[in-house]
Amino acid sequence: MDISMEMVMSKTLKLIIAFASVALGATAASAGSENYSGPKMDLSKYQSEFRVGFLGDEAAQDILTRNTCLKDYVEAAYNVPAKMFTFKDYAGTMESMLGGNLDYAWFGSSGYAGIYLEDPNAVVPVLTRMQPSGDTGYYSVMVTKKNSGIESLDDMRGKSLGFADPNSTSGYLIPSIELVEKVGDLDMFFSKTGFQGGHENGVLAVLNGDVDAAVTWVSGVGEWNEGYSSGNLRKMVDKGILNMDDIAQIWSSKLIPNGPIVMPKALPQEARDVMVGMKQWILKNDPKCNENIANGIVKAWVPVDHSFYESIVKARKAKIEAKKNS
């Protein structure tokens, strides 16, 4: 299915089930935001609010609660109210950004590639994260239930595999390419594959016995029993819904470029510059907030541009064309 078809399907789904769009009510500003002295601008000259979108790869309320401090800092930096929205799937976030309804979103590399292939002038990559190791990338990994008898990728022959989302880099694009290099035709090797509705749901499906294995994302550095230093497994451990002793890792991808925080190209350059400065100020002055909004430990926020994602754009384009020709 190409990105255009995904957008059409998302519009239809929106009418039926809607996306989970939640605007946080007025809350007391975090202590850090009250002392914010980083870059600022008066965005009210251009628009009345700043709209932040989040991918739907975990429970909506968990996302919003964790990012309350981001809302406070955005309001302090841009002098307009901030509204925060979650979506049921990646396509909903992509569609909203393409439609000019968001000012900020953090996509995986494939999500950004999908937007770029639909409209190269829609968004601009602004920042990505640097892991404590100094890497600006992460890994797709396949996990299975411990003591299931599945100890390697070869043991997955005839078993079921859960992907996260069709627009996920680590949860679909990269494993769907790299696994073919290892095992051949995925439909022939696995008994079945299917999308689980996000990374968290995929791991829960493994724990519940709904699939034999699932792919998700990790930093690849740090302690295994903590879910690494960051990534979906770390988030689940921190939330108390995953014990790493219950799962085993049986495959890992090559290093994947960390996904970008993107903003609309239509916004003035000053708005993007303020975001870069704001994130760097939070990193230095409010480490707890920084860890919350970064989904883990981050060494630095690194400015990026389109060139950092050209390999992923090419991979996604090739996959779309292959499906058209199949």
| Helix/strand/coil for 84 | strand
Quick one: average pLDDT of 248-257? Answer: 96
Confidence of residue 296 (pLDDT cuts 50, 70, 90): confident
- Compare 16 and 286 and report the one with higher pLDDT: 286
Name the CATH superfamily housing domain 3-131+259-321.
Periplasmic binding protein-like II (3.40.190.10)
- C-alpha–C-alpha distance, residues 300 and 288, integer Å: 14
Structure confidence by residue, pLDDT tens digits, 43-92: 999 999 999 999 876 788 999 999 999 999 999 999 999 999 999 889 99
Work out the angle at residue 263's Cα, subtended by the Cα atoms of residues 200 and 9, and round it to the nearest 5 degrees: 55
For position 161, what pLDDT does the model report? 98
- C-alpha–C-alpha distance, residues 3 and 181, integer Å: 24
Is the pLDDT at 24 greater than 50? The verdict is: no
Confidence of residue 31 (pLDDT cuts 50, 70, 90): low
Q: In one letter, which amino acid is 186?
A: L
Q: In one letter, which amino acid is 21?
A: S
| Helix/strand/coil for 37 | coil
Mean pLDDT taken over the chain? 90
Is the pLDDT at 21 greater than 60? The verdict is: no
- C-alpha–C-alpha distance, residues 141 and 217, integer Å: 6
For position 210, what pLDDT does the model report? 98
Q: Residue written as tokens 């988030």?
A: 235
Start-end ranges of CATH 3.40.190.10 in the chain?
3-131+259-321, 137-256
| Helix/strand/coil for 175 | helix
For position 240, what pLDDT does the model report? 97
For position 32, what pLDDT does the model report? 67
User: What helix, strand, coil percent values describe the chain, rounded to 5?
Assistant: 45, 20, 35
For position 326, what pLDDT does the model report? 73
Sequence-distant contacts of 181-187: CB under 8 A, at least 24 apart: 182/153, 182/251, 183/153, 183/156, 183/157, 186/161
What's the distance, CA 295 to chain centroid?
A: 10
Residue 247 half-sphere exposure, CB side, CA atoms within 13 Å? 33
For position 5, what pLDDT does the model report? 36
Q: Which two tokens stand for residue 139?
A: 């890994």
- C-alpha–C-alpha distance, residues 188 and 141, integer Å: 21
- Compare 95 and 17 and report the one with higher pLDDT: 95
Is the domain 137-256 a CATH 3.40.190.10 member? Answer: yes
**pTM, 2 dp:** 0.81
Structure confidence by residue, pLDDT tens digits, 110-153: 999 999 999 999 999 999 999 888 989 999 999 999 999 999 99
